[in-house]
Chain A
């Protein structure tokens, strides 16, 4: 990690980690043992040929390394930054047994950043198949599906309801983790394959389901954008946000620069964020940069936090106060928020997920003073479009049911990413999209 000093980074939204130098990258890549059966590749959901690109980095052939990565992944500058490598490629690296695994994520990022600085090479495309595919949602899944389909020669129309492509990459993950000019550059590379991006188009409203089904195939990548609320008394007071709303206002609408940008956001002086995932960590660190004293309330123990370890560490360095084994039960206030009433939790028997089940301790109520409250307790699949298509089979949690080739219950309709799995990671959505694209290609070639 090459993190900027805390006193600097707390006053802006510029990237915290400044990345590797060429020399550092070469030295790190040289540590790779070039395994004959590389486990790291198996750990990568999109199957990047990691030893091959590391070999090129070690020899200083950065352009060639970029080309190898892009065979499998059109968004390497993004993935290098936000993948939970500790449980994927790096978690599998054989060097991790005795010493440190290779910093594959940082190297992927270095390669992508270097390529971008020197002008990106346009990817190769196959001849047109004459078939049309509609992709719904321009998040990581939809972008990956669009890029792969376009490379195979399909004519791709990508529908996005917001005014910018990127999905969670634009509205969710803050710029200090994922700079937006980088996201835009990688999206532009996807669009340069001839993908027809239609912004401001909400499928189901601006495009009817009938129009959608007039394409030869459809890929649904509409994500898990439905915020869950906790159902607490006082939850609808002004100043209570879903993390989606809070992050959208700042990341997509630039409310941190209000009034230069028109969208406002409440800058709490004392902010309570509830949750323990990456979204909670992002919301807390954004609130901190808006000048608030921030407390992160999580019902389990610190070792149970699902957020990326590095980001939890950074949140702590930035002065976020962690209140573990606690749970909000009421938002206090009349016109606005004055505080949050919480209860302490004790850890009992392990639950289904293998984590201890938290149970409230009687009489342990306490109050935290607060003027902004952000709920980051998870999101569900966006129901709007999929509820317009009754033939589409859905699971209990509203997710679209798919088989192992990401086919839905409807012929020629495929789905991948959070809309199928529930809220997960960027790279898993991309992996799903790649599998779905192969199934779409197979179906259309057999027709």
Chain B
């Protein structure tokens, strides 16, 4: 059992949680993730490690289905039954020169730890944080501190630049030499945004988010095609060369359990209503 030390809401549908797990916190590096299983009946879900402090680490997630909705309902002092990690390969933290980190929505959660590590390796780091609207923006202050420069975009213009993160990325590329780019967000956002760097041949990393079960390379649920080869995102990734990734396959596989995910969430919500906000951990 792992204790939740702090928990709270960051934005519309977006929550953060600090969990005490020394085996994760003491070994975590930028770009890695954990697997949570909330309770005995729970599923295993992957979440990116977003920050580390002593024996604890932070995850940030959006409520999209049953498990994340349940997770959002947990408070400080509650427990997560299983926390496995850190998992996956760490980010490539070489000295590239100028790095641009682009976060889409909750994908921004992964960026501060990468930004700080890249800075420590001697890079100049420009952050771009994008979201559909101002209420979904997260980690602005933290990113402003971690990066040399921070740019904001919203699809609807409610804050910062009116448009997509990809447009801001192109602006940065137009004004200065960019040596490496990280793009982390929804699959469609990563697919579209990485086209901005393809013509210039700029080294671009994306962090892939396929369906995972064990997260240790023993099932192949998270397989993706990169450069024509089948890779397991949990052990070979989750970061890959953006220009080599088959995003259409990734998005198709992400839809595998859509009907089941809907059924599970509806059942959970019905149960929450039935017990009127009481014990909903059953």
Q: Chain B interface mostly helix, strand, loop or mixed?
A: mixed
How many chain B residues touch the partner (CB < 8 A)? 41
Contacts of B84 in A (CB 8 A): 161-163, 200-202, 206
B218 contacts A226, C-beta separation under 8 Å:
yes
Size range of the chain A interface in the assembly: 35 or more
- Which residues of chain B from 199 to 226 have a CB within 8 Å of any chain A CB? 213-214, 216-221, 223, 225
- Contact digits for A187-226, partner B, Cβ 8 Å, 1 yes 0 no: 0000000000011111001111000000000000000011
Binds A, one of B119-127, B132-140, B259-267: B259-267
List the A residue with the shortest CB-CB distance to B256. A238
Interchain CB contact under 8 A, A200 and B218: no
What total count of A-B pairs have CB within 8 Å?
Answer: 116
Of A229, A249, A264, which one neighbours B230 at CB under 8 angstroms? A229
1/0 contact trace for A128-142 toward B, CB 8 Å? 000000000000000
Contact present for B264 and A259 (CB under 8 Å): yes
A236 contacts partner chain B, Cβ-Cβ < 8 Å: yes
Interface check A383, CB cutoff 8 A: yes
Bound CA–CA A259/B84 (angstroms): 23
Partner of A227, one of B218, B235, B252, B263: B218
Which of B35-43, B109-117, B147-155, B172-180 is the interface stretch? Answer: B35-43
Indicate if A266 sits at the interface (CB-CB under 8 A): yes
Flag if B83 contacts A200 (CB, 8 Å): yes
Q: Is there a chain B Cβ closer than 8 Å to A258's Cβ?
A: yes
Contacts of B83 in A (CB 8 A): 200
Cβ of A262 and Cβ of B264 under 8 Å apart? yes
B241 at the interface (CB under 8 A from A): no
Q: In the complex, what residues of B have CB within 8 A of residue A237's CB?
A: 252
Chain A residue at smallest Cβ distance from B84:
A200
Minimum distance in angstroms from A210 CB to a CB of chain B: 11
Q: Does A242 contact B (CB under 8 A)?
A: yes
Which residues of B222-245 have CB atoms within 8 Å of chain A's CB atoms? 223, 225, 230, 235
B218, closest chain A residue (CB) = A225
Complex Cα gap A244–B213 (Å) = 10
A263 to B66, CA, bound (A): 11
* SS class, residues of chain A in contact with chain B: loop
Q: Are B23 and A206 in contact (CB under 8 A)?
A: yes
Q: How far apart sit A202 and B216, CA to CA, in the bound complex (Å)?
A: 8
In the complex, A254→B44 CA distance in Å?
Answer: 12
Partner of A229, one of B220, B256, B264: B220
Chain B's nearest CB lies how many Å from the CB of A209? 12
Determine if A258 and B225 form an interchain contact, defined as CB atoms under 8 angstroms apart.
no
Q: Which residues of B contact A227 (CB under 8 A)?
A: 218-220
Partner of B213, one of A207, A239, A248: A248
Q: Give min CB distance, B220 to chain A, whole Å.
A: 5
* Listed A/B pairs (6) with beta-carbon separation below 8 Å: A235-B230, A236-B253, A241-B221, A260-B41, A261-B43, A264-B264
Q: Please give the residue numbers on chain B whose beta carbons come within 8 Å of chain A beta carbons, in ascending order.
A: 23-24, 27, 32, 37, 41-44, 66-67, 81-87, 213-214, 216-221, 223, 225, 230, 235, 249, 252-253, 255-257, 260-261, 263-264, 267
